[in-house]
Structure 1
Amino acid sequence: MRNHLVLILSIFFIVSIPSYSQNQSDSDFKEEVKTIEKLTIKSLKLRQQVNPESEDQELIKEMNILDSTLLHKVTLFLNEYGWKSKKEIGELANMGLILAIQHSSKEEMESFKEIIEKAYQEDKIEKSSYALYVDRLKVRNGLPQIYGTQYYYDEKSASLRFNEIEDFENVNKRRRKVGLSKIEKYAKQNSIALD
């Protein structure tokens, strides 16, 4: 009888431990997603206050700290769970993954290249977000961009201007493939000089 009771208790613990572990893992995953969402909201709100001509050093410092915090959380998340689609973690958290990487250093952006390429191939990342990543990395490496998503503030003309665009004549074809509007419309919406 005693052996029978020990056997039943052993089976109970063997069955219940993985279940507890799974629940804890799900809970951790959801908590990580919530943290990324909260940091993403903060980042988006703060970015609305900063423009290319901004000289508010306190605001820029706050944004840099927030970018660093979000990147740290995203790096831990990606190492633990890999890239997750909007369906898996929601639109906001998915946006947070790319936002953190977009605003990291050139070296950090390079370090995420393989995981972003894989996410793009598996349709887990928005095509337009992928285009932004590709263009930003190209510009940071001193190369012409592909999709025409990157621009800068030109002090001489006191206007926004596009960074160099490869094969400008066909940029709208490439933009259409990744769900971006025509470059003329994009330029008008963002007051970017197109000359």
Structure 2
Amino acid sequence: MKVFLLPFLFLCFSVGLLAQNFSSTDPAYIENAKAGEAALKGGEYDDCLAFYATAFAIKQTSFLSTLRAAACAHSAGKTEIRDQYLDKAFELSPDGSKGIFENYDEFDYLRETPFAQMIQSRFLAAFPNFNQDLADKLAEIRKTDQEQRGLMREYSDKYGWESPQMDSLWKIQNRSDSYNTGYITATIEMMGYPGKSIVGDQAGTAFLVIQHADLPIQEKFLPVLREAAEAGELSWSSLALLIDRVEMRNGRPQIYGSQVSRDKETNEYFFSEIAEPHKIDSIRATVGLGPIQQYADNWNFTFDPDKHIARHKKE
């Protein structure tokens, strides 16, 4: 059976999930959070505040919903409530709140207003060592790291993995990877890992580049990335993916079930060998990764631990 490991695609939005998720499963919370969002987008700011007040009486751990409530309060002229919600949003996630404000359409009308200045001042208070120039550079690197990889699954399905079209993508990607790896490794050696307190929501960019580098580079910088995760500068879920990649490239089973392969003859997707397939969901949960079946759904296949074990015994 011929297989190949899929190139890692960073499918998560940098400041949160693109899919609709709620911090509570309580139906009343979900109903009011949805209604608050709709009221904000519809310009019904007093109603928006009422809906969010009801939702937050149940639970208030979502910086997205809290920031939306702050926007409603600002637009309704209720400055004290606005400031309370802004402070709470930045208490929950300063980099996440700034990223949400800069990227979500419902905040477009506020980006050239004093509200934007309030966002920036709170962000700088949370991250006094923030380096905007470096963050901008890492944003460029992230784009070149992901641009061609984002097309690879589509191209492989349409043209085949060994097609001229795929070769063209890889030539472009390899040039980008060579430059990006040199820049990131030099940056880490000079200043340490460029983490959340320095570059905000670009904290995962250096990880992405190391994840796609050669094994000696991955092994060299894995301890640095582990220290960054322990210090809260890099997400543990990102570190887990690099650990899996290093384990596999050394001929060992992956730990967290992040690496997917495809049978070149049948085009069937499956997980590369997992060390403890029957415990995988609890292991993934320790680093903030969701259930493995949700991950498998991205490739439209079902994970069965017993079948997984049987498959890899045959190899």
Name the TM tier (shorter chain): 0.7 to 0.9
CA–CA distance in structure 2, aligned partners of residues 133 and 105 of structure 1: 12
Residue number in structure 1 paired with 2:143? 41
Contact 1:161 1:192 (C-alpha < 8 Å) held by counterparts: yes
**2:177 aligned residue (52, 67, 74):** 67
Residue number in structure 1 paired with 2:193? 83
Judge which range, 104-113 or 33-42, deviates more. Answer: 33-42
Task: Summarize the alignment of residues 154-173 of structure 1 with structure 2, pairs less than 5 Å apart.
Answer: 154-173=263-282
Structure 2 unaligned spans of 5+: 1-130, 308-315
CA–CA distance in structure 1, aligned partners of residues 178 and 302 of structure 2: 32
Structure 1 unaligned spans of 5+: 1-28
Residue identity opposite 1:43 in structure 2: D
3-state DSSP class of the match of 1:90?
helix
Quote the offset at 1:30 in angstroms: 4.3
Residue number in structure 2 paired with 1:14? none
1:89-130 Cα offsets, whole Å, 9 max, x none, are 0212x2210011000011111111221121122121111101
Residue identity opposite 2:186 in structure 1: L
Provide the TM-score with structure 1 as the length reference. Answer: 0.79
Contact 2:195 2:204 (C-alpha < 8 Å) held by counterparts: no
CA–CA distance in structure 1, aligned partners of residues 182 and 297 of structure 2: 35
1:58-105 Cα offsets, whole Å, 9 max, x none, are 11111111111111111111111111322320212x221001100001
CA–CA distance in structure 1, aligned partners of residues 301 and 213 of structure 2: 24
* Aligned-residue CA RMSD (Å): 1.7
Runs of 4+ deviating beyond 4 Å:
none
CA–CA distance in structure 2, aligned partners of residues 159 and 88 of structure 1: 42
Judge which range, 149-158 or 97-106, deviates more. Answer: 149-158
Provide the TM-score with structure 2 as the length reference. Answer: 0.50
CA–CA distance in structure 2, aligned partners of residues 59 and 46 of structure 1: 6
Task: Summarize the alignment of residues 26-175 of structure 1 with structure 2, pairs less than 5 Å apart.
Answer: 30-51=132-153, 53-54=160-161, 55=163, 56-92=166-202, 94-175=203-284
Residue number in structure 2 paired with 1:12? none
Identity of aligned residues (%): 26
Question: For residues 81 and 192 of structure 1, do their structure 2 counterparts lie closer, same or farther at Cα, with a shift above 3 Å needed?
Answer: farther
Residue number in structure 2 paired with 1:10? none
CA–CA distance in structure 1, aligned partners of residues 225 and 151 of structure 2: 28
CA–CA distance in structure 1, aligned partners of residues 253 and 236 of structure 2: 19
Q: How many equivalent pairs are there?
A: 166
CA–CA distance in structure 2, aligned partners of residues 46 and 90 of structure 1: 24
Residue number in structure 2 paired with 1:24? none
3-state DSSP class of the match of 1:153?
strand
3-state DSSP class of the match of 2:279?
helix
Quote the offset at 1:148 in angstroms: 0.2
CA–CA distance in structure 2, aligned partners of residues 61 and 135 of structure 1: 26
Contact 1:162 1:193 (C-alpha < 8 Å) held by counterparts: no
Residue identity opposite 1:121 in structure 2: E
